[in-house]
Structure 1
């Protein structure tokens, strides 16, 4: 009996010790010396995923991982995708990561006012995307940050950007202010792209939209410098002063030699500029010029504008810019 009692005690201690080891092994620090990226392919079961984790150095033993996962994992399946695994992440946390589908997120950002030629370059340069894209239609992308996963196509990202623009424009157009000078959503995008390029001050957007709306109503030329540059560079920075020949050029964009809107947008406008065009400020202003502080000063008459321009010139001369 004494021998049987000792054997029982030994067995119990061994079981307790084994359980404690299993719990420690499952929940303790993993072997990865640095952060890792592991991609679990669609259709991969737990065993195949474990093999990938072992090969990447995230776990010590695929078979042990599978064994413990079946005991401690709760029976929830894993999800395919690209996962960022932190250094020394435990097997328990790795399984939770795979079960929760918290895949690694990558982003490509289209800033407000970015022309499509530069948006194309950004999307083509985004790592881990596949495929090529043509230059998207100007004004068709909604500026924002878009998440993607490794292996997504560039065209699928463009499609999401364009669907986002279509959805936002439809919503904004439906709640537009009555009596606008723009008569279609496309005209709104065209004018919003000009507003976007003409001011970087959020509080000025509705005033700038009012200026151009008032000019359109009166049949005046918009005379927006960015419309001169667009046919020259497709929206990229000119890098020099506008030439007189460019200012006098007659084309479908130059609003110094034509009345009305250009034939198309000159950039991808953001939400705020779209909103400004669809709800411009109540103002009679027809002109604006830089005020020397990064903003603009507005005028209802040419006489007021000329005074403001002379003040701006005086600021520039004091700065040694003229």
Structure 2
């Protein structure tokens, strides 16, 4: 009898030990950090494409050595039903994350947004290259869409003006959104910006919103000085109003595709030929923006300064600034002074 009791106690102790060990193991795999435990670890960003399987997720994590123990992660994923319900997206996995935290995040599809800033972009191709690659839809898809006349027309633009729809700012997106959702969001931002008040100001200047953006792109390329932007805009509006060519140097650079040119001369103007962007030879505004102008510059064009200036030239005495003139003779004198300063500095 005593022997049976001892055996029962022994079994009970063994079961207790096994339970404690199992409980400890379960605790470990659920609540102990399994991600980013190395000394030099940083948060890991996991990208899961649409249609990916759990094996694809495991392969990505393995390849990047994101976790310490694959088996425990897969076990928790199976227990919580994630293996059969993989959701695409971009997920940030902080250093020291547990299996439970990561699986819950992935299973819920709780993506982390990306912040994207549009600025200092000259060409549509540059925009496609810089922005398209930040999303799951990729550069090629965005490029095809922005080169499609029917798609551009759907949003109220053409293939030359569509860059005007993208207002320089910082935006938050989900990496996995579709290219259509991206375009719809940008059009919504554009429509929100172009309030009735702004439309009325554009109309008063004899311009459409797209034309305002085109003019703003020229102004942005002409001067970095905020105090000058509305004055420069006024010069170009004066020229438009009297049917005078804009004669904007930045448009010649755009026509030639060479933005490193420091000095526009007769030969370069001739080289640009009859390009619609050569505003020395073609009247009116070019067919599209020559860069992505800032919101500030767009507003300065809308609030352009009313004056009688028709000419302006860089001021050698104040680098970065310009002098403005109403008559051509005064302008020529100032321009000659500026040319001499360029010659002294061997700028050709």
Q: Please identify, of 269-278 and 155-164, the stretch whose mean Cα deviation from structure 2 is larger.
A: 155-164
Distance 2:322 2:10 in 1: 94
Contact map agreement 2:129 2:139 (CA 8 A) in 1: no
Displacement of 1:188 after TM fit? Answer: 1.8
Contact map agreement 2:86 2:106 (CA 8 A) in 1: yes
Contact map agreement 1:139 1:267 (CA 8 A) in 2: no
**What is the root-mean-square deviation of aligned Cα atoms in Å?**
4.3
Listed one character per residue, the Cα deviations across residues 269-290 of structure 1 (whole Å, up to 9, x for unaligned) are: 3322322222213544433322
Listed one character per residue, the Cα deviations across residues 148-177 of structure 1 (whole Å, up to 9, x for unaligned) are: 636x66x54873586257425633764543
Distance 2:246 2:17 in 1: 88
Q: Which residue of 2 aligns with 1:91?
A: 99
Q: Which residue of 2 aligns with 1:37?
A: 46
1:299 counterpart (316, 324, 331): 324
Contact map agreement 1:39 1:81 (CA 8 A) in 2: yes
Number of residue pairs aligned between Structure 1 and Structure 2: 308
Q: Which residue of 2 aligns with 1:290?
A: 314
Q: Judging changes above 3 Å, is the alpha-carbon distance between structure 1 residues 240 and 202 closer, same or farther for their aligned structure 2 residues?
A: closer
Displacement of 1:94 after TM fit? Answer: 0.8
Q: Judging changes above 3 Å, is the alpha-carbon distance between structure 1 residues 188 and 216 closer, same or farther for their aligned structure 2 residues?
A: same
Report the secondary structure of 2:255's partner residue.
Answer: helix
Displacement of 1:222 after TM fit? Answer: 1.9
Q: Which residue of 2 aligns with 1:60?
A: 70
TM-score computed with the length of structure 2 as normaliser: 0.66
TM-score computed with the length of structure 1 as normaliser: 0.70
Contact map agreement 1:212 1:286 (CA 8 A) in 2: yes
Q: Which residue of 1 aligns with 2:259?
A: 237
**Does the alignment pair 1:213 with 2:242?**
no
**Does the alignment pair 1:103 with 2:127?**
no
Q: Judging changes above 3 Å, is the alpha-carbon distance between structure 1 residues 284 and 242 closer, same or farther for their aligned structure 2 residues?
A: closer
Q: Which residue of 2 aligns with 1:140?
A: 162
Contact map agreement 1:38 1:85 (CA 8 A) in 2: no
In structure 1, stretches of 5+ residues that fail to align are none
Contact map agreement 2:46 2:90 (CA 8 A) in 1: yes
